[in-house]
Structure 1
Amino acid sequence: MEKLSGAYDTQAAGLPRGRTSLLTEETREKQRRRLVKAAISVFAEKGFAATTIADIVKTARVSKQAFYEIFENKEDCFLAADDLGRKALYEQVLTDIKAQGSNGDQWIRSSLRAYLQLCVSEQDFTKAWAIEFPKAGSRCLEQRNLFFSELGKRLKLIHSAIKIKQPELWVAVPDLFYDAAIGGAYEIIFRYICQNKFDELLNIEDDLVDFINFSIGYKQNI
């Protein structure tokens, strides 16, 4: 998969600038992708508030005029980055969640492991999204909260299928517990991200799986 972040070599040829960027949709899409990837890198390095449009276009090797033809402002660009990251997450993580009632906790473990691996392989994006995205404006905060809500609903949906196959292993829990399971697990991951402990993230998989299981009603020692 193409990296979600990246700077472009200042010695390399840039994309067409100015009004020539209007010639083809292909060129425009390349400009958009470069701006988003560059923005992620700069947000991760400098923080959203300190980042300027000049920083982004310099890192992307794209003109400032092209930026404003594609995005209204930095928040608009960050929302596009969120879309890019969400697509990668759904492709690599959420599609791996399957109702495998006969495979113990694998239905949770496979998706969680894939997410942790994505965090480790995409550290700039992970830092930018986790630390800077909630502070980037009301639309970004709303989008972040909506994403976690979607994860909670998805967890409940898959769990409902699991409980039908293994009713003896689970007790009923309020719907709020699904959001709490997602939010609690993410809070632990968030602390590792803030401390730049990416090399330790994969080591907490077992504890996070246990936490999610018990949060949604798993009966211990069955």
Structure 2
Amino acid sequence: MYKTRAATPRLRPGPNGLPRGQVTEIQRSRMLAAAVDAVEEVGYARMTVAQVISRARVSRKTFYDVFADREDCFLAAFEQAVSQTRLIAREAYEREGDVWREGVRAALGRLLMFMDEEPGLAKLCVVEALAAGEKVLERRAQLLDEIAAVIDQGRHLTNTTREPPAVTAEGIVGGIFAVLHTRLLDEADEPLTDLLGPLMSMIVLPYLGARAASRELARPAMEVARDRQTRSQTRSRDPLEGLNMRLTYRTVRVLMVIAEHPGASNREIAEGSGIIDQGQISKLLNRLGRLNLVENRGEGQEKGAANAWHLTARGAQVERATRPR
């Protein structure tokens, strides 16, 4: 006999279903995940509302109840990705205290690692945002200004009698994004983390001079990760330390859904995190359970009841550390 793929369970608000607000949030999350997938596959220029709702398994009416148009949907996905990357970069930067050079290196290294892990989100933010509408371009410009403000702090560390002009940081950020844009379009096999040394050399050159730039080229690309492990022995424990799992976009979403809805079932978590395949969500939850990030307090399928997933103490720490701000 041929097996047919089970349809995605319908979300029904009301006394016997989920609260209407939760249904809307779950549907929104599914559409954002679907938009990221569509953009990665066909690009923003060819992304359609039909592609998004088909992947998210929602109606066209549901889409327009949440988003004004496809640009609005893309902007929401862009904002969500920016929030996640901002948190990652800020935490890496702040671990270095007041040392500008080391903080920038740590943040840049962590962002490059994230882009290697999430090429779809990287392409959305760096490449496809340029093809989106005016609102997205304005938000992108604000993001570049934020990054340039951090880079510009190096201007006050220069050893020369004359500081580089303030526009230097803008040029550096523009150059970095141009390099990343090219690499993401080429889809080369080399990881983006290989660019850490060259990009850091470009950043410090106008502020700290040629010698400092040369030293950046000589440093190992993954030195950031080793430094963080060493420092964790003397600082408060990093909740991500020793976590034998790559935290992808959807993994973070799963942890967020469980944090916001303790006791959620497999189906509810899948709906909230944008994962359509029930086998995939089961495997992911079981793996998170083996890592002691979640625990199932329900009766499970053996007794005919739904699973009820909760975060463990460590799972709550990881969720807080990775939650977009």
The answer to whether TM tops 0.5 is: yes
| Pair 1:12–1:209, CA change in 2 (3 A) | farther
SS in 1 for 2:210: coil
Aligned residues: 206
Residue aligning to 2:317: none
Higher mean Cα deviation, 24-33 or 91-100? 91-100
Q: Which residue of 1 aligns with 2:6?
A: 11
Structure 2 counterpart of 1:189, from 150, 155, 180: 180
- Is the aligned partner of 1:221 residue 2:211? yes
Structure 1: 5+ residue runs without aligned partners? 1-9
Residue 127 of structure 1: which of 99, 123, 128 is its match? Answer: 123
User: Structure 1 vs Structure 2: percent identity of aligned residues?
Assistant: 22
What is residue 4 of structure 1 aligned with on the other side? Answer: none
The Cα offsets for residues 5-57 of structure 1, whole Å up to 9 and x where unpaired, read as: xxxxx735244279999952111111111101110110111122222211101
Cα pair 1:119 1:126 within 8 Å, conserved: yes
The CA RMSD over aligned residues, in Å, is 2.7
CA drift of 1:219 comes to: 2.3
Classify 1:170/1:76 alpha carbon distance in 2 versus 1 (closer, same or farther; 3 Å).
farther
Matched, 1:113 2:104: no
Question: Secondary structure, in 3 states, of the residue corresponding to 2:208?
Answer: coil
**Contact 1:75 1:137 survives alignment (8 Å):** yes
Gap change, CA 1:220 and 1:50, over 3 Å in 2:
closer
CA distance in 2, matches of 1:54, 1:202: 35
Q: Which has the higher contact order (CA 8 A, sep 6+)?
A: 1
What are structure 2's unaligned runs of at least 5 residues? 213-325
- The one-letter code sitting in structure 1 at the alignment partner of 2:144 is F
**Larger of the two Rg values belongs to structure:** 2
Structure 2: how far apart are the matches of 1:130 and 1:155? 18
Deviation beyond 3 Å, 4+ runs, structure 1: 17-23, 98-102, 167-171
Higher helix share: 1
Match of 1:203 among 186, 194, 201: 194
Structure 2 length-normalised TM: 0.57
Residue-by-residue CA offset, 1:187-221 (whole Å, 9 max, x unaligned): 11111001012633111211111111113x11233
Give 1:154 deviation, angstroms.
Answer: 2.5
Task: Give the equivalent residue in structure 2 for 1:93.
Answer: 89
**TM-score normalised to the size of structure 1?**
0.82
How far residue 128 of structure 1 moved from its aligned partner, in angstroms, is: 2.3
* Partner SS state of residue 190, structure 2: helix
Asked if 1:70 corresponds to 2:70, the answer is no
1:102-154 CA-to-partner distances (Å, cap 9, x unmatched) read 6x842221011111011111111112222221111111111111210111112
